[in-house]
Structure 1
């Protein structure tokens, strides 16, 4: 009997199980070593100084709960979305002369969706800074 073609159905899963175990060990061993290192060389020493608030080299004064406009975050997210979408236009612009009609139509659809998103953001007032 020759051994070519006599593979069992479960043989492919052995490799999968080995990779699964290796992946788990790859994640858990450094975490365990870090925990052991922290336990041995950095025992917890709670106190008023260690538990105090500290930021940017200055002690905190006053209340940390200051009102902050969430519209700034929304403005930044819209900027990032459109910035990333516009990056997809660079390959299209570079290869514009040699593209088939289907690629040009797909890019025109993409541009239509980008412009539609921009019009939507504008109509909702997301682009107003103040």
Structure 2
């Protein structure tokens, strides 16, 4: 009985969705919806527009500190198990703090350049 019910549901749900798709009103897309979107830039303009290196630096900094969060997620478990993991965690935080202080002192995080 359970197998028959599962087979009936796996057949009926896609059929209901297909029927609903055919009954839904058709939309008429305009030129704005049909035009390709390329990261905020118009694809019909010159592709060789100069981009600020500051944008890429901020993106790299974001990825670096986002990765830091992923590396620091297991801290609660590491604190209960070994002092070696705690030492590595503190070393990682110290190095990242040093890197952030260096970037800040060099003006890499200044948006108004």
TM-score normalized with structure 2 length: 0.54
Kindly indicate whether the alpha-carbon contact (under 8 Å) linking 1:74 and 1:126 is maintained by their aligned counterparts in 2: yes
Contact preservation (8 Å) 1:75, 1:129: no
Structure 2: distance between partners of 1:90 and 1:99: 15
Structure 1 segments of 4 or more deviating over 4 A?
none
Is 2:61 the partner of 1:78?
A: yes
User: How many pairs does the alignment contain?
Assistant: 74
Asked if 1:103 is matched to 2:85, the reply is yes
* Gap regions ≥5 residues in structure 1: 1-54
Q: Which residue of 2 aligns with 1:10?
A: none
- The structure whose Rg is larger is 1
Let me know the Cα RMSD of the aligned residues. Answer: 2.3
Confirm whether residue 60 of structure 1 aligns to residue 44 of structure 2. Answer: yes
Within the candidate set 97, 100, 120, 2:102 is matched to 120
CA distance in 2, matches of 1:81, 1:121: 12
